[in-house]
Structures are given as structure tokens and as C-alpha cells.
Structure 1
């Protein structure tokens, strides 16, 4: 079986989800031929690096601008240069003889959906939504199955017109190492704190938090700063008692032994923490998608979210770290979420997706009966 996973490197989340899906399929079908392709790099090879540099710059320096354009795009989803992209996708699929396409980024789903309509193709398209909140960008008429993080996401899709038979609540994809049995819980004298700032290594008030935590006794701190080399150097020089790391492949080891994860509320990080049974602490989420994930954390009581500048974060952190009962309750709530996820491989839904595919008859798509 040949499977194509399309994604985009806007942040680490979408690409990380693609890698996790590939890993999950190979555990179920070791001989599957799976390729991950960055759709931006494939369609715009000459300018893809510029596109990503601009994105990273805007996200790190102009959050208001990013949110504004994100809201506009979500309200008015469009698929520019459809004909050109459809031609490129056609070349890609014909060259590789693909059986199924999986998307972890909305524009990938939009382009493949447009391609299916323009070329009258019924190749199955699976879309994995990588945040709890879902907007119109993710919804495409020729997506055959949606894989989502929560029941709330499913309900939102249904309200937007997606058939419930096409939606699977599986959680947001994470590497299988996070899903392995978590470290046996043994109450330790020292609390283990893990701080992660996403691929760019950024969290609000990061320096002040480190100043505060580094002076507390009976805690061990690990800071994973991603690819932010300047930040790594700064922390090593300023806080010699903090274990600081750059990008690493074994984040799961640190997350599973952590009593608390201080982080941004990205969709991948959220479900890495859920599978690791690690409570989260999120400070002033700002990006649109991160706000939705933070609300999920708060509503399900699996961590703490600080929404306003007036909160005394240091007093709040101290209270939480000293409150073993509250931390244990958060872990119980996390386990409840994890136990209600559908952990089936995407291949388990392949035949169902074939029955849900659309084909062209007299220039209109009709559903094949059988479900």
C-alpha cells in the first residue's frame, strides 16, 4: 500500500503529526510505503524557505498581525491557483501510484480536495486536525474522513455540516513513545519541572519564571528550548542549575517523569502531555489556535491556564507545586481523556473511506451507498 502524507512546516506541530501518523501506520502495516511531503516546498520550491522565514518572523515578533490574518483566512477560506496546484498534484500522484492521501495541514486538504474535483478522482483523503478548535479552513467537500482531538472538535464539525460518520475522535497524533506506559508514579522529594517553548523556544515571562524557579529548593528544572540557539546559550550562562536542552528526539522521557509541564498550548504538546499523564501550566495563550487548546485544558481540569497579566504567577506556581492532591486530580482527569480516545490505525478506516468517497456523474458528486 502506498500512502502520501502532506503537511507544512509552519511551526513544528503539523510536521510532527505527520511523522506520528507514519509511525502509527507502520506499526500496523510494516510494509506500507509511506512518504511525507512538505506541500509548500513541493509546490513552491524556489520560495519555500522565504515563506517559512517570514512566518517564523511574524509569529515571534507580530502576534497581533498573525492572529488578524489567521482570523480573516479562517472566515474566508480559499484555494488560490487551483489549476496549477492540481497539475502538480496530478504529476505527484501519477508518478507514485498512491492509494491514500493524509493531510495534517488545512491548505493540503484544500488543494487535494480541489484536485479531486477538477480531475474527477476518488482517492481517499484523510484530514487530521491538529488543534482542538476547528475553523472553516479545515473543512473540504472531498475529505473522506476527519480525525480529531476531542468530542468538542467533532461536535463543531457536525455543526458546520460534516457528517458524524466521517469523524473519528482519536486525539491529536503524537509519537508512539509518548503512548507507551508512563513512568510509575512514585512520590519524590524533589518535583520535576519541564519547561518547553515550542519550536522557537518562546514562552511569556520566561526569564522571570526561570529567575523564580531556580531559587526554589526541592525542584529540578529541565528547559527544552527547541532550535533557539541564542536562548540555549543565555540560559546556560545565567542558570547553571537548570538542565537546558535544544531540539531533542526523546522529549517523552522528560515529559513522563515531569510533575508539571510549563509550556505553550500547542495541539501536539497538549496530547503529548495527555499521553504522558503530565499536568500542564500555560501562561497567557495568545495565538488563536492555542487559545482553543488552553480552554480545553481548563475545561477538563488537566492543568492551569493563566489568562491575565494581573495574576501572581509565582505564588500560583508555588501553590500548585505544593498541592499534591490537586496535581493527582489533574492526572486522573488526563487518564480519563486518554482512555476514551480511538487508538485504531488510520488503515482501520481505509475501507470505510472507500464507501464514503465521491465520484463524478454528470459533473456532480454523489455519495456511494453502503454506510
Structure 2
């Protein structure tokens, strides 16, 4: 379900890997696209609006479904009842495609799946660094989670109480992020200076956060090369372009070659979206994190801080933090080394192999 870009990016990475296998076909379906076209943009904009204007409301909803079993049950029932239009189209889609496995990167898909298809092996793939209990409202046959998210005791308790099979594979990202590419070569291709540290600043696919304030704070730090990626936020892109910054601040809109940009960089300044930080982990790219939304992004931020591969920043402190960060090559090298156990080089392949290992029942047409 395409609330944000992370769930769909992970699904596409898995589709790519599934279709490498002989005689396997995969199809990505965004369940939001099954909602009537007049309502879909309202739902999407409503979700984004709540995050931007009323983050406290979202925080309470997220927190209540996380900690209150009764509220979680009621929420899953509400989702199921409200999803009647999706379920009807989903049932028809499943009849047309007749899948042998169902893989989802969003827990709502399991809740909305028609009961007739319960015998089909279902796989859940978490795309943030937290196991929200809504994933357990309707259990998949197997659940794939980030590395070092759960300790052995937590794994055993969940598996014992639910019967769920858990795999700590990591989050699947586009395979291009794990391709070896030197920093020098990436900068040559992108036309970036080779003798200055490169800092990427981005607010996810939708260009959220205090990007304008951040740019104003760093505009006179000419010893660094900044690349500001505004994503799909065209208003922000044009506002920043009109300000006529000097050449050490480069403004870019949505780019499809993010593996190349991350390979060129020494530091990423970003919101802690699940897929964005997973892509940065794959490139061993240290992060400064700003304005984490309550819920998943707070959990993602805490995960990175715990493993000491990121720091929290804000416009008022970013100049001082940048100066300190680039003061010691040894400190940056140590931070980069901490990424090694977190990397999920083969996450997509492992998920595909485990999914295809499951026995699919023979579905007979009456």
C-alpha cells in the first residue's frame, strides 16, 4: 500500500529478484490503486496532511495500536470493514491471477486479503526498523524482519506464542545499491568535485522537512559540496532554484539514479524513512537525521542511533555538527565500519528462496 514510497520500492526490489527465477512470474499491486480514483488522492493527501500538520494525532494512533491490544483489535476490524471496496477488487484480481504465493510489504494487505485465499502461503516483509503488532493481527506464514531488530529471547517468544516463522534477513532494496562503485567514479559521472566532501540533503521521495532552513544554514560552508534532492516536491525545487545559490550547493529534483548519488557521498542528511536509511546502510553512508515523524520514523532513528551510525540534527546545529563530523577521518572510518553487520546484501534473494520453498496448495476451480 503506497503510503509513501518505501513499501512499493521494497515490493519492486522483490519482483525483480523473483523474476530471475526460472518459470516464476511476479506482479506488484498497490492496494491504494484499487480504491476508486476520486477517493485515492484524498486518502493519500489525508495521510500526508496528518503527518505534516497533526503528527501528534498520528503518534497517538500509532502508539495505541502498538500498546493496546483491544485498540489494535478494533483497528484491524475497522480496516477490514472499511476495505470492502478493496477486498472485492482484490478477490477478482486473485481469481484472475491465481497466485501460488502472496508477499506483502504492508500489514493492511493481510487484513484485507479475502478469506478464500487463506490457504495460500503468505509472506510479510517489514520495511521499517520496528515490528509493529498490527503485523500480528492476521498472521502471515512467515515474516521477514531487519537484522538485529529482535534479540534471541524476543524471537523465541514471538515464534512460540504465534507459531510464526521469523527470518532476520534485513530489508530488501534495489540490487543496484549493493553494486561496487568507487566514490571517485561516481563523482566523475555526476560532475561533482573530487577534492571536496559531498553531503546529500533530502526529505524522502516527497521532499519533506526543513530543507530550506537547512540550506540557508549551510550556504556559506564552501569547503563542502552539497546536493539538495527535493524529490517530487516541485514547489520546493523551483523555490530553491530561484535563490541562485553558488556552485557548492546543487539543487536536484526527483532522481532515479540514487545508488550513484549515495556512492558519491560522504554523508546523508535526511528524514529516517525505512527504505532511505536501508539504502544508505547498503552504501555504508553515515547519516544526520532530522524531524523524524512519530511512529515508524522515530523507531528507525532509534535503531540507527543505537548502532552508532547516525546522529540527530536540526537547522540550528547543523553547521557545528558538519564541522565536527569532517574534522576526523578516523572517526568517519569507524562509523563506516559499524555498518557491516547491519548490511543486508542478500535480503531479496533470501526472501525469494524462502518464499518459493513454501509448499503451495493446489487450488481447484469449482
The TM-score with structure 2 as length reference comes to: 0.84
- Please tell me whether residue 293 in structure 1 is matched to residue 300 in structure 2: yes
The answer to whether the 8 A contact 2:198-2:267 is kept is: yes
304, 320, 345: which one aligns with 1:315: 320
> What is the alpha-carbon distance in structure 2 between the residues aligned to residue 259 and residue 42 of structure 1?
41
- Please tell me whether residue 42 in structure 1 is matched to residue 48 in structure 2: no
2:143 maps to what in 1?
146
- Please tell me whether residue 194 in structure 1 is matched to residue 193 in structure 2: no
Query: Kindly tell me: are residues 158 and 214 of structure 1, through their superposed partners in 2, closer, same or farther at Cα, counting changes over 3 Å?
Result: farther
1:236 deviation in Å? 1.2
Query: Kindly tell me: are residues 234 and 104 of structure 1, through their superposed partners in 2, closer, same or farther at Cα, counting changes over 3 Å?
Result: same
> What is the alpha-carbon distance in structure 2 between the residues aligned to residue 97 and residue 233 of structure 1?
46
Larger displacement relative to structure 2 (234-243 or 190-199): 234-243
Larger displacement relative to structure 2 (213-222 or 82-91): 82-91
Q: Give 3-state SS (helix, strand or coil) of 1:318's partner.
A: helix
Q: Give 3-state SS (helix, strand or coil) of 2:339's partner.
A: helix
Q: Judging by fraction of residues, say which structure has more strand.
A: 1
2:132 maps to what in 1?
135
- Please tell me whether residue 305 in structure 1 is matched to residue 277 in structure 2: no
Alignment of 1:318-357 (within 5 A): 318-338=323-343, 342=347, 344-354=349-359
Q: How many residues are matched?
A: 342
> What is the alpha-carbon distance in structure 2 between the residues aligned to residue 276 and residue 30 of structure 1?
30
- Please tell me whether residue 19 in structure 1 is matched to residue 12 in structure 2: yes
Alignment of 1:63-82 (within 5 A): 63-74=55-66, 75=68, 76=72, 77-79=75-77, 80-81=80-81
The answer to whether the 8 A contact 1:131-1:267 is kept is: yes
The answer to whether the 8 A contact 1:281-1:304 is kept is: yes
> What is the alpha-carbon distance in structure 2 between the residues aligned to residue 32 and residue 157 of structure 1?
31
Q: Give 3-state SS (helix, strand or coil) of 1:222's partner.
A: strand
Alignment of 1:107-126 (within 5 A): 107-112=108-113, 115=114, 118-119=115-116, 121-126=118-123
The TM-score with structure 1 as length reference comes to: 0.83
**Alignment root-mean-square deviation, CA:** 2.8
Larger displacement relative to structure 2 (313-322 or 266-275): 313-322
Alignment of 1:201-216 (within 5 A): 201-204=207-210, 206-216=211-221
1:90 maps to what in 2?
91
1:216 deviation in Å? 1.1
Q: Give 3-state SS (helix, strand or coil) of 1:243's partner.
A: strand
1:177 maps to what in 2?
176
2:2 maps to what in 1?
9
The answer to whether the 8 A contact 1:100-1:125 is kept is: yes
